[in-house]
Amino acid sequence: DTEVTQTPKHLVMGMTNKKSLKCEQHMGHRAMYWYKQKAKKPPELMFVYSYEKLSINESVPSRFSPECPNSSLLNLHLHALQPEDSALYLCASSQEVPLPNEQFFGPGTRLTVL
């Protein structure tokens, strides 16, 4: 299994909703990442988990809350989002941190906040 899976593929939510994005990998990777990507822009790093511990938080607003329940799973809990948070949210994994080589990206969740 050499892929990263993400659910849901699409999500529409209101500003008062609470929702979660899920990411899973079974490659034995010990580092997992959340990126946000706006249209025609590069991915922007949000969070990095290394060995199930949060190692990097790129000053992301607290309405985004990451969680790593185990080495294969990464969640992103969303609450009280703003319309400008609408974007493609990408999960990625790599063997470990520091990055030795490539990151494997999931297909992303396209989020729309109304």
Q: CB 103 → another protein: shortest distance, Å?
A: 7
* Binding flag, residue 10, another protein (CB under 8 A): no
Spatial separation of the C-alpha atoms in residues 48 and 104, rounded to whole Å? 14
Going 98 to 106 to 83 to 77, the CA torsion angle's sign is negative
* Interacting span for another protein (CB under 8 A) from 15-23, 65-73, 76-84, 96-104: 96-104
Which CB sits closer to another protein, 16 or 102?
102
Residue 43: is the preceding peptide bond cis (ω within 30°)?
no
* Binding flag, residue 104, another protein (CB under 8 A): yes
Spatial separation of the C-alpha atoms in residues 13 and 89, rounded to whole Å? 14
Q: What are 69's strand-pairing partners?
A: none
Binding site for another protein (CB under 8 A): 4, 40-45, 48, 55-56, 88, 90, 97-99, 101-108, 110
